[in-house]
A = this chain, B = another copy of it.
Amino acid sequence: MREQAYRDPVHGFILVNADYLRQLIDTPEFQRLRRIRQLGVSYGTYHGAEHSRFGHSLGTLWIMQQMLDRLEHAGFSIAADVRITALCAALLHDVGHGPFSHALENLLTQDKTHEAWSQAIITGETEINKVLRQVDESLPQQIADVLGGSYAGPAFVAELVSSQLDADRMDYLLRDSLYTGVTYGHFDLHRLINTLQLVDQHVVIQAKGVVAVEEYVLARYFMYWQVYFHKAIRSHELLLRAAWRRAVRLWQEGGLSAQHVTPGLVPVLSGSCSDVGQYLLVDDYDVYSSLKQWRYHPDPILADLADRFLARRLLKPIFKAPHTSDVAAQLEQARTLVQNSGWDPDYYLQVDHTRNLAYDTYTEEAGARRVPTIRAVTDAGRPVEVTKLSEPIRAVAQRPREAVNVYVPQEVVAQVRALFTAD
């Protein structure tokens, strides 16, 4: 058994000693993650954040390995096939991400989320699928079930892969924090892992670990407001999305054709991308190279949006309100104003509604798929949902931090702001 050591800026070394894991890492589908930036366009604001999904996926695997080792060390036995499923699910959980990760997600292939693509890649005709089937014919489906929330094995597997206390979040908080150069995402990974235990096959934190969980939840809270919802980053993303929407429209109307884009982009742009093979051809490089071309396209809107994106001439945020419905009338006026100033408001007036709960108890709402909550053991030894034990977590869970921002070109910012502050 050969051990492979991957140097990692976050974890120091990531040690991988199973052959099938190394083979998965070497598949073209996994290597493609090197060409998908972890934080989309955030590097435009935090210049260090140029990292890709590749390192994050390795880091998630590494944390999963440590969590499973910890559980076994603490006396919980884990069947060999369950362990393999958990490790593969951690490594592959993001393999379906497309260009710029979340920034373009629902625009590129509207009917399929990145999770759905991950499942499709794992179960479809890919090198990843081949490697997995060499381990066990049923392995691809088991991993897809973990990612899809229907895994029939022990509950802790899906919880460690995707819950409010999972390997994914732990890695991205630490990693994004290092690369952006902020300190907010730090928490005590080692202690957190060392307070994990299983109760009825569910992950539960020991009583002594509650403070470590608090630190972790607050780290997420801080990262959302300092990095993930940073207004300059959102504005940069809005430009990317506007340019993409314009390109799609021109394509439909015949104003854009294969000569203006990289070959890989054609299926997604034309809305005909449905198979895994086509989807896997696309990455950040296609979008970037096409945007570079579009700067010189005859359509003035596409050319301007592409140039704005590349030169980072951002739309400016001018307003924040708790709810869009409160400002419907003003928004209508603003659209007219932007239009009259010569800008197409479909592209140059953007309403951005950000909303996040750093921790969600799901007590109030229903409908959307619920991400498992965090449970901890009381001093009396009973597992309870963690807000029962922690005031700071209760605080950030109480109600979402929410903002609505309106973005318009610098030239009309003063006039539009006046509309919203008139009364």
**Nearest CB of chain B from residue A61's CB, rounded to whole Å:** 12
**Nearest CB of chain B from residue A2's CB, rounded to whole Å:** 11
Q: How far is the CA of A392 from the CA of B358 in the complex (A)?
A: 11
Most chain B CB inside 10 Å of its own CB: which residue of A43, A48, A183, A184? A48
A9 part of interface (Cβ distance < 8 Å): yes
A395 part of interface (Cβ distance < 8 Å): yes
Judging by beta carbons under 8 Å apart, are B184 and A7 in contact? no
Query: Could you say which of A112-120, A214-222, A337-345, A346-354 contacts chain B?
Result: A214-222
Judging by beta carbons under 8 Å apart, are B26 and A34 in contact? no
User: Which one of B31, B179, B312, B395 contacts A394 once the chains associate, using CB atoms below 8 Å?
Assistant: B395
Judging by beta carbons under 8 Å apart, are A181 and B264 in contact? no
| CB nearest neighbor in B for A398 | B391
A190 part of interface (Cβ distance < 8 Å): yes
**Nearest CB of chain B from residue A83's CB, rounded to whole Å:** 19
Query: Could you say which of A134-142, A153-161, A286-294, A327-335 contacts chain B?
Result: A286-294
User: Which one of B3, B47, B183 contacts A6 once the chains associate, using CB atoms below 8 Å?
Assistant: B47
A51 part of interface (Cβ distance < 8 Å): yes
A285 part of interface (Cβ distance < 8 Å): yes
Q: How far is the CA of A183 from the CA of B184 in the complex (A)?
A: 12
A268 part of interface (Cβ distance < 8 Å): no
A58 part of interface (Cβ distance < 8 Å): yes
Contacts of A311 in B (CB 8 A): 26, 28, 31
A55 part of interface (Cβ distance < 8 Å): yes
Those of A303-327 within 8 Å (CB) of chain B: 310-312, 320
Judging by beta carbons under 8 Å apart, are A187 and B179 in contact? no
**Nearest CB of chain B from residue A314's CB, rounded to whole Å:** 11
Judging by beta carbons under 8 Å apart, are A263 and B293 in contact? yes
Most chain B CB inside 10 Å of its own CB: which residue of A188, A289, A310, A391? A289
Q: How far is the CA of A143 from the CA of B35 in the complex (A)?
A: 35
Judging by beta carbons under 8 Å apart, are B310 and A31 in contact? yes
Contact string against B for A residues 260-272, beta-carbon threshold 8 Å, 1 for contact and 0 otherwise: 0011100000000
Contact string against B for A residues 31-56, beta-carbon threshold 8 Å, 1 for contact and 0 otherwise: 10011000000011011101110110
| CB nearest neighbor in B for A180 | B7
Judging by beta carbons under 8 Å apart, are A181 and B263 in contact? no
Q: How far is the CA of A274 from the CA of B187 in the complex (A)?
A: 46
A252 part of interface (Cβ distance < 8 Å): no
A396 part of interface (Cβ distance < 8 Å): yes
User: Which one of B3, B9, B184 contacts A188 once the chains associate, using CB atoms below 8 Å?
Assistant: B184
**Nearest CB of chain B from residue A186's CB, rounded to whole Å:** 6
A12 part of interface (Cβ distance < 8 Å): yes
Judging by beta carbons under 8 Å apart, are B7 and A48 in contact? yes
Contacts of A190 in B (CB 8 A): 12-13
**Nearest CB of chain B from residue A346's CB, rounded to whole Å:** 26
Those of A44-82 within 8 Å (CB) of chain B: 44, 46-48, 50-52, 54-55, 58, 73
Judging by beta carbons under 8 Å apart, are B180 and A262 in contact? no
Q: How far is the CA of A73 from the CA of B398 in the complex (A)?
A: 39
Q: How far is the CA of A288 from the CA of B295 in the complex (A)?
A: 19
Given known contacts A262-B289, A292-B262, is B181 in contact with A312 (CB within 8 Å)? no
User: Which one of B3, B320, B391 contacts A396 once the chains associate, using CB atoms below 8 Å?
Assistant: B391
Judging by beta carbons under 8 Å apart, are A5 and B262 in contact? no
Q: Contacts A9-B178, A281-B292 known; list 9 others, CB within 8 Å.
A: A7-B47, A8-B47, A48-B55, A50-B51, A186-B186, A211-B222, A262-B289, A262-B292, A391-B396
Q: Report the 10 A-B pairs with minimum CB-CB distance, sorted nearest first.
A: A395-B395, A7-B181, A289-B289, A9-B48, A9-B181, A285-B288, A183-B188, A391-B395, A285-B289, A47-B55
User: What are 25 sample pairs from A and B whose C-beta atoms fall under 8 A apart?
Assistant: A7-B181, A7-B182, A8-B47, A9-B180, A10-B48, A12-B181, A26-B311, A26-B312, A34-B44, A48-B55, A50-B51, A182-B188, A184-B215, A186-B186, A211-B222, A221-B392, A262-B262, A262-B292, A262-B293, A281-B292, A285-B289, A286-B292, A392-B395, A394-B395, A395-B395
